[in-house]
Chain A
Amino acid sequence: MTARRHATWLLVPCLMALLLLVYLPQVLMFAVSLGHRSAYGAVVYGTSPSNYWRAIDPLYAWILWRSLLLALATTVTCLVLAYPVAFWLGRIIPPRWRNALLALIVLPFWTSFLVRMYAWIVLLRSEGVVNQALAAAGLPALELLYNDAAVLVGQVYGELPFMIIPLYVSLEKLDGTLLEAAADCGAGPLRRFTQVILPQTLPGIVAGCVLVFIPSLGAYLAPDLLGGGKTAYVGNLIQSQFATARDMPFGAALSFLLSLVVVLLLLAFRRPIRAAGSL
């Protein structure tokens, strides 16, 4: 019992980091969000919720809605792309190859996300690699960059490993004899997938979706670089309030609202998340 109580101290460093780097800044942000900007862009503290009223203006609500759609599209696309890869990694290839191939999947993290976004610009721009290839094949050039599709491509590209890894983990540990048992009971390949593999890998699916959806909601690098500032998402909106618009109180209110949306979504989906965790 005492050993267990002592072990609680192991949590202290992490709790301290959370307190200093998450909760305290959130409190500060909340305080800032109740103020307003001075004529020169400084923060004047106050107790007015006016920034929040401004944030739920249809224009900003529309941007938040677009961000939700982007996050949803990113998550679904990642799931569809990642599941076959994770299945192949976790169940098809010989185990001795797995670590090397997993390393390939996380290899892009060795390069800055910013640099990798520039690489996408090189690929997608009007005179980029893709359009050069199209021209060489005698096909007309396509407008690939600076639109929502480009943003989605960048987002999916960036988040894909975060979907593959949890899916891989749940597929790799799936007990193969369960599939034999299902076959034994008459289930063909499709039924084995829907009746055993999907329910058994639900924890990985939920974990991957949460890991991809939440960062995608506040994404700003891909929209900024691949959207070319022509596409509005809440991440860019917040960034521009802190930077170009120099309206920190409004930016703080927006980011506070974004956090609130995330918390509400996690609450709304707490049942499947918990169910997945208990499997």
Chain B
Amino acid sequence: MKGAVSVRGVTRAYGNVVAVCDVSLDVAPGEFLTLLGPSGCGKTTLLRLIAGFERPDRGTIHVSGNDVTAVPAHKRPVNTVFQHYALFPHRTVRGNVAFGLEIEKRPPAEIARKVDEALDLVRLGGLGNRRVTELSGGQKQRVALARALVLEPDVLVLDEPLAALDPKLRKEVQIEIKNLQERLGTTFVFVTHDQDEALVMADRIAVMNHGRIEQVDGPEALYERPRTRFVADFLGVSNLLEVTPHTRDHGRVRLRTASGLEFDADDDGGYELGRAVWVGLRSERISLVDRAGNVLDGVIDDEIFLGDWTDWRVRVGPGGDVLSVGEGNVLARSRRRGEVVSVCFPPDAVMRLDDDGGERPGG
């Protein structure tokens, strides 16, 4: 049970604003779980509830099998890496990492040894005597990590620790933290609003919206099978269409949008004829070349150049539904706005979504 986190029916409100609403979540020992969602979705509040900086209004929190709901932060076997690192400016790098061990009144020799180990772990070996104010953002982030890990917590929680780093460094540190977590076997609960970061690092991702968890799944399952409109949108599914299934045939279901665009989807048994439902279609699953599956006539309406690839906005169907189609720029360079194209996608690319997903991010 060491390292397990169990959140049961937890609610936390600030005045009239419900930050976390009836959330239940289990994190297995040694798991890397990411809380993903837009700002204001309650992910940081949930993290702070686990760390003990906030008390839930309702519900219980267990860490390593013990009920810690009423246990203050300084007595929980949980350590935190803060978003802005929260290093003690009046202490050196070593002083920061040693802080918790000094509080525990460990013998000086042991403190020195553990601090050395922790600094080596985050590759800050030679910087122990620097003032933390002299460090770069990446170095501060490592000190924060060392300060938390040196105490050998059952659970480490990280609140957007990479938000302040530049994109290239960020990619490196993501891999580094992931490797570190696998090596240590410590449970990590990691908060981010960056879906790429979540997909790269996490064993499982809990997507949050309006204080609730909408879906918890592994990165691949989440990417390939988002369950709600919100999750699909947040994970970059650029085509979201409201459709009505009208006929069933040989494991396929025929869908029609309000404006009359028709296409086939694999019938997973969840479609109900005549009942409107939302579907998602990833732009990278649509091709303007391979004529297979659904083939729709369209006209290129607009283009968004994205470096490696181009996002074509293609008008299709009688009512002029616009689909976003991603195409690598080797192919895309020859196309022009106004060009007539065939929009093709296999029926299994159509993802059926639960329509109780609520609002779209930012909406």
Contact = CB atoms under 8 A, between A and B. Distances in A.
Contacts of B309: none
Q: Which 6 A-B pairs have the closest CB atoms?
A: A185-B100, A181-B86, A177-B86, A183-B73, A183-B74, A199-B90
A177 B79 contact: no
Contact of A195 (B52, B75, B79, B99): B99
A187 B99 CA distance: 9
A178 B87 CA distance: 7
A177 to B, nearest CB: 4
Interface in A183-207: 183-188, 191, 195-196, 199-200, 202
Which of B51, B72, B90 has most chain A Cβ within 10 Å?
B90
B140 to A, nearest CB: 12
B148 interface: yes
A186 B77 CA distance: 9
A180 interface: yes
B80 A180 contact: yes
Interface residues of A, number: 19
B306 interface: no
A178 B103 CA distance: 15
A127 interface: no
Nearest to A181: B86
A187 B151 CA distance: 12
Contact of A184 (B89, B90, B104, B148): B148
A187 B88 contact: no
A181 B103 contact: no
SS class of chain A's interface: helix, strand, loop or mixed? helix
Given A177-B82, A191-B103, A195-B99, A184 B73 contact: yes
Contacts of A199: 88, 90
B53 interface: yes
A181 B74 contact: no
A187 B82 contact: no
Contact of A186 (B53, B86, B103): B103
Interface of A: 175, 177-178, 180-188, 191, 195-196, 199-200, 202, 279
Nearest to B150: A185
29 contacts: A175-B86, A177-B86, A178-B88, A180-B53, A180-B80, A180-B82, A180-B86, A181-B88, A184-B51, A184-B100, A184-B148, A185-B74, A185-B79, A185-B99, A185-B100, A185-B151, A186-B74, A186-B75, A186-B100, A186-B104, A187-B74, A187-B100, A188-B74, A191-B103, A195-B99, A199-B88, A199-B90, A200-B89, A202-B90
A182 B86 CA distance: 9
B82 A185 contact: no
B352 interface: no
B2 interface: no
A128 B52 CA distance: 54
B282 interface: no
B118 to A, nearest CB: 12
A182 B90 CA distance: 13
B19 to A, nearest CB: 17
Interface in B101-150: 103-104, 147-148
B103 A196 contact: no
Nearest to A179: B86
B170 interface: no
Contacts of B147: 181, 185
Given A185-B100, A186-B104, A191-B103, A180 B73 contact: yes
Contacts of A200: 89-90
Contacts of B51: 184
Nearest to A198: B90
Contacts of A187: 74, 99-100, 103
B79 A184 contact: yes
B80 A196 contact: no
Contacts of B104: 186
B84 A184 contact: no
A183 B72 contact: yes
Contact of B80 (A178, A181, A188, A202): A181
A191 B53 CA distance: 17
A202 B80 CA distance: 26
Given A183-B74, A184-B74, A184-B79, A196 B86 contact: no
